[in-house]
């Protein structure tokens, strides 16, 4: 079965390393028979700000505008702006979504955050009943592919930037897993701007190699929703007791006041 891939690309320059990584993914996945579509956010001049302009016609409460509630209603009524619905259609059709971007301030560029804020609307991408392991997109895979400005050693448990696993938790758990995605391990290109040309070439070759079997990769591990009680969303007593005697916590975020599990946001099966 032919897989459909959406690459959400957030870099201003077609001559950048990020563009080269994006192009490598398009070429490798297309060669495998995948249908690949790219949302080039800068080329599209994608609007980053979440405002009432995202809704066609009148809003329910203009005086006390709540984007979360208003866009849910607009989605239900088919009143979201065309640029949002176009991206939502791409997302609905895709089996795998790759976010390709340079890491800005330990997160994503504003234009990509705007895509997340505006496209992953309440109702379409999540609801109180459909989130985390029971999320809307539980049959889809997603991953982050990004460049850093700092060396890998600086993003370590002893490095000045701290553990990259901690940096990734809000993005991979709080956004992707929250919407139900099966999250593949990130593809991290460590400081390509300061690397030698042969090292940048090697980074891209490693990416191309990984792409050959990307669709078969095992996703990262997150605690299923049914491990938590339905009222306070705390770990169920039996789950807590089961892990109480173990050396490491469950995940970076849900660590039970234990040492953080190594590589839990960077490698599958950890």
pLDDT value of position 179: 98
What average pLDDT does the segment 19-38 reach?
97
pLDDT tier for residue 48 given thresholds of 50, 70 and 90:
very high
Q: Return the SS3 of 40.
A: strand
CA neighbor of 121 nearest in space, from 180, 176, 80, 174: 80
pTM: predicted TM-score of the whole model, two decimal places: 0.96
pLDDT value of position 265: 96
What average pLDDT does the segment 153-181 reach?
97
pLDDT value of position 267: 92
Extents of the domains making up the chain: 4-220
pLDDT value of position 2: 64
What average pLDDT does the segment 151-164 reach?
96
Please say if the pLDDT value at position 73 is more than 80.
Answer: yes
What average pLDDT does the segment 217-231 reach?
93
Please say if the pLDDT value at position 269 is more than 90.
Answer: no
Please say if the pLDDT value at position 59 is more than 90.
Answer: yes
Residues 175, 116: Cα–Cα separation, whole Å: 8
**Residues in contact with 62: Cβ distance below 8 Å, sequence separation at least 6, in sequence order:** 52
pLDDT value of position 137: 97
Please say if the pLDDT value at position 115 is more than 80.
Answer: yes
pLDDT value of position 103: 98
What average pLDDT does the segment 158-163 reach?
97
CA 216 → CA 125, 204, 252, 270, distances in Å?
24, 20, 25, 17
Please say if the pLDDT value at position 270 is more than 80.
Answer: no
Helix then strand then coil, % of the chain, to nearest 5: 40, 15, 45
pLDDT tier for residue 268 given thresholds of 50, 70 and 90:
confident
Residues 267, 259: Cα–Cα separation, whole Å: 17
Please say if the pLDDT value at position 1 is more than 90.
Answer: no
Residues 23, 36: Cα–Cα separation, whole Å: 11
Q: Which residue has the higher pLDDT, 270 or 122?
A: 122
Residues 54, 40: Cα–Cα separation, whole Å: 19
* DSSP annotation of 159: S
* % pLDDT > 70, the chain: 99
What average pLDDT does the segment 19-45 reach?
98
What average pLDDT does the segment 74-84 reach?
98
**For the chain, what is the mean pLDDT?**
96
pLDDT value of position 120: 98
| Minimum mean pLDDT range among 94-103, 168-177, 198-207, 235-244 | 235-244
Residues 203, 230: Cα–Cα separation, whole Å: 44
CATH fourth-level superfamily of 4-220: Flavodoxin domain (3.40.50.360)
pLDDT value of position 45: 98
What average pLDDT does the segment 2-17 reach?
95
DSSP 48-114: ----GGGBSS--S-STT--HHHHHHHHHHHT-B-HHHHHHHHHHHH-SEEEEEEE-BTTB--HHHHH
pLDDT tier for residue 190 given thresholds of 50, 70 and 90:
very high
Please say if the pLDDT value at position 138 is more than 90.
Answer: yes
């Amino acid at each position: 079965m032919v897989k459909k891939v959406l690459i959400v690309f957030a870099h201003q320059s077609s001559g950048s390393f990020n563009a080269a990584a994006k192009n490598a993914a398009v070429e490798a996945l297309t060669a495998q028979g995948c249908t690949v579509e790219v949302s080039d956010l800068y080329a599209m001049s994608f609007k980053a700000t979440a405002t009432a302009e995202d809704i066609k016609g009148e809003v329910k409460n203009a005086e006390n505008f709540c984007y979360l509630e208003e866009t849910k209603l607009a989605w239900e009524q088919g009143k979201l702006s065309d640029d949002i619905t176009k991206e939502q259609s791409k997302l609905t059709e895709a089996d795998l979504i790759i976010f390709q971007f340079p890491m800005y301030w330990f997160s994503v560029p504003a234009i990509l955050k705007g895509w997340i804020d505006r496209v992953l609307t309440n109702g379409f991408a999540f609801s109180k009943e459909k989130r985390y392991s029971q999320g809307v997109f539980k049959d889809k895979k997603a991953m982050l592919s990004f460049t850093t400005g700092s060396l890998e050693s600086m993003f370590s448990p002893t490095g000045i930037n701290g553990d990259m696993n901690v940096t990734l938790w809000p993005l991979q758990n709080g956004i992707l897993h929250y919407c139900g995605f099966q999250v593949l391990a990130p593809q991290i290109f460590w400081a390509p701007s300061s690397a030698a040309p042969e090292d940048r070439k090697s980074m891209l070759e490693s990416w191309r190699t990984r792409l050959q079997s990307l669709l078969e990769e095992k996703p990262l591990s997150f605690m299923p929703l049914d491990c938590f009680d339905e009222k306070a969303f705390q770990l169920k007593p039996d789950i807590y007791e089961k892990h109480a005697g173990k050396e490491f916590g469950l995940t970076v975020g849900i660590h039970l006041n234990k040492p953080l599990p190594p590589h839990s946001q960077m490698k599958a099966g950890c």
